[in-house]
Structure 1
Amino acid sequence: MKLIWIRHGETDSNRERKYLGHSDIPLNEKGEQQARELARQLSQQLKRPVALYASDLLRCTQTARPLADEWGLPIISVPALRELSFGDWELLTYEELMRSDAERAVRWYDDPYRCSP
């Protein structure tokens, strides 16, 4: 079995370098172009897969949609594939986070298993 992991295309919040986590942000125009180009290239390089899984977040299903259309596959929505939830930090930039919650952020960066956002 061969697994191929794909990160979603660009969103405005990604471009602004914000922590997205579970925030349901759509792809921007560039992200939509990236998804179409990904589908074009992968359809030329790979044979049709047996399944296509994606997080249930909009940016992920939007990235998967051109692949699903190209291969004639349904997108199997899997909430467990979501990015880490950043809680109160969602939609903050790194700079905003360091101004508002620097102590906890430093602890999380040093030991993400014992400190959560």
Structure 2
Amino acid sequence: MPKNSNSIITAHPETLKSLENLGLRIRASRVAQGWTIKDMADRLFCSQNTYRAIEAGKPTASIGIIANALWLFGQIDSLNAVAPLPLSANSTTRVRKSKTKPIAGVISDDERNF
């Protein structure tokens, strides 16, 4: 019985298409090297089914294994372009919960007392 997750079931079509395209690019790199799926799975220390899921663009594929696959092909730098760090990001800035405004969907301690 396959595992299902609401976050995977409700994945946006653009997200699914991007993952599919990434899988196709990884597959093209594998074929260009002349490696089989078994070769790649052995190199990545994963099962052949896990590697097939990566090439198929399944949203359940591990980002760690995908990163290792990119490294094998000498394309690990392309991962840095996925979500570049905003220029305004400051490592000393912390985001804190507002004390005055309750978070939607969260029950406060006062509401728990009957």
TM normalised by structure 2 equals: 0.26
Q: Which has the larger radius of gyration?
A: 2
Q: TM-score, normalised by structure 1?
A: 0.26
More helix by share: 2
**Structure with more relative contact order (C-alpha pairs < 8 Å, separation 6 or more):** 1
- Larger % of strand: which? 1
